Chain A
Amino acid sequence: MEEKLTLFKNRKRFGIEKNIDIIFKNTALVLSSFVAIILLGIILVVFFQSFESFSRYGLKFLVTSEWNPVKDEYGAFTAIYGTLVTSFLSLLITIPLGVGTAIFITEDFVPKVFREIIGSFVELLAAIPSVVLGLWAIFVMEPFFRAFFVFLHNFFGWIPLFSTEPTGRNSLLAILILVVMLLPIVTSIARDTLNQVPKKLRNAAYGIGASRWKTIFSVILPAALSGIMAGVLLALGRAMGETMAVTMIIGNSNAFSWSLLSPGYTISSMLANQFGEADGSQVSSLFYAAFVLMILSLVVNIFAQWLVKKFSLKY
């Protein structure tokens, strides 16, 4: 026994193996900190590049809509308004559709095979590149909706949102293509959350005589609310930053208008359009706009993460 113990004590690792172990661990550590470095790098670089414009225009940049490279006057109100309006309105349409679809595929209205096919199909759609959606929007959606927009303008023209004559690409089309993009996100997250609600909650509700939809509205949806909310916020972040599809269909005009039927701008479409050819203080102003976009999406994302942590299902 004594002999064996000393045997173990004498069996040390070779020095080189120990060193490899330490090197391996530290490499992994360095690699994992790359995420933080890149994230901080992005924030710092965009901030410092926008500094010139920031010090010249200050917060006035956010509320004026003049964008004139010739006179060197910059204000991003049109783009900021466009970003907020398109993302929030598209979300407003997506939420009921997405949650409704998620309920449809988590309840047993149709056989399980169909529900799974629909579910995975919706998830597949999230993989379609947004530039392809933009192409589709230009050549299929825009002609398809043209007559409808004229109708909207003729009958609801007294509402400021529909007050301009529809001419080709406009903000409303951007909202609709965003709905197509966000639906898969909201639907699949809502479906996952609804599936996680424990069966016994449903059985208990049925047991005391609640009907199916009474159960859904009073038991299942409240239990899944936090997850659905987080999914909605993620979708909101995506909508704000979405570039290609929106750039291709929104019309890209910096003239401010309340109307959804007139061409508009979002921060990301402004960046996509102007960044390549910009120089001088225009670049700095574009960086300022990019900084605003980044802050908006950071706030939304961090809030979503906080929500998930705070209200994750406790059953």
Chain B
Amino acid sequence: MNSLYYQKRLSRNIGDKFFTSLSVICALIAILPLIFLVTYILIKGGSQITPELFTLEPNPPGDDLDAGGINPALIGTLIITTIASIIAIPVGVGGGIYLAEYSKGGAFSRFIRFGVNVLAGVPSIIAGVFIYALIVSTKILFGSMYSGLAGGMALSILMLPTVIKTTDEGLKLVPNELRYASLGVGASMYTTILKVTLPSAFRSIATGVVLGIARAAGETAPLIFTALFSYYYIVGFEDLFYEMGSLAVLIYNFALEPYDAQNKLAWAASFILVLSILSVNIFSRILAAFTEKTKRV
């Protein structure tokens, strides 16, 4: 009779309780430091934000207490990320179109998909080493060595797999009926892709691409010996061919300085970087969830 009731002292029930609490503890250990980390960055960095931060050059580290601002690094990050996007998005979207629309699952497309996954796993510093050997040390870009352009190229290598993957997967989700309909009324293949499949996959591709850009904006390792760092304002087009600062490298350089003023600048830069990356992520997540809901209706 009793066996129909829940018995606390049964070994299986004790074991269940034990493992349940274990998984709760795991979750707590995993999540608490993460929450602490985010709030700490936001509070510590947010408290350093001043209007001058956005307009001044950083002062070279030294005894003077005023560290200046991060204007060149902020602009530099925007420029380098833009260069990377200009290279990676056309190449990636084009490659994704080939994989999803033209390839028929043969050896070539399987090899490319494999290559995309492998390239995604290449350590980011290797991309920097590669661009250093190819562009910086050979001075192939009009005799300039370290440059924002080289930094952008290194970042584009990291963005490329993400862009191809999201394009490929986004296009695969487009129902085949749309393609048949378009081809059936006599549209050619490229019209079908440009006017029908690509627009209907636009949102998911755009989300993936934006996330890829956000990730690239925070990358440091490929930049430390391709774009290097600069303390000076970016004033003209020719600055592309010289050393260029970026938020990520600024954080790296100034975190290792022994001076408090520079460290504070690093915190402020982290705040801006983390806040922009997190808001891009959250925004695109909400957008994706919203699209999914409207599709279901």
Contacts and interface: CB of A to CB of B under 8 A. Distances in A.
Nearest to B95: A32
B27 A100 contact: yes
A183 B33 CA distance: 11
A148 to B, nearest CB: 14
B221 A28 contact: no
B122 A31 contact: no
Contact of A46 (B97, B111, B121, B126): B126
A64 B27 CA distance: 42
A301 to B, nearest CB: 4
B252 A21 contact: no
A46 B130 contact: yes
Given A17-B188, A276-B224, A293-B123, A118 B31 contact: yes
Interface residues of B, number: 91
Interface in A138-152: 138-140
A272 B20 contact: no
Contact of B255 (A138, A187, A297): A138
B62 interface: no
A60 interface: no
B248 A131 contact: yes
Q: Helix, strand, loop or mixed for chain B's interface?
A: helix
Interface of A: 13, 17-18, 20-21, 24-25, 27-36, 38-39, 41-42, 45-46, 49, 96-101, 103-105, 107, 109, 118, 120-122, 124-125, 127-136, 138-140, 180, 183-184, 187, 211-214, 216, 234, 237-238, 240-244, 248, 268, 271-272, 275-276, 286-287, 290, 293-294, 297-298, 300-302, 304-305
The 7 closest A-B pairs by CB, nearest first: A241-B123, A100-B26, A129-B218, A31-B94, A32-B95, A301-B121, A28-B98
Q: Which of B109, B224, B256, B277 has the most CB of A within 10 A?
A: B224
A34 B91 contact: yes
Given A35-B119, A216-B19, A287-B133, 5 more contacts: A18-B188, A30-B94, A34-B95, A35-B112, A213-B19
B133 A45 contact: yes
B164 A35 contact: yes
A135 B134 contact: no
Interface string B1-35: 00000000000110110011011111101110111
A244 B256 CA distance: 12
A311 to B, nearest CB: 16
Nearest to A29: B98
A44 B13 CA distance: 59
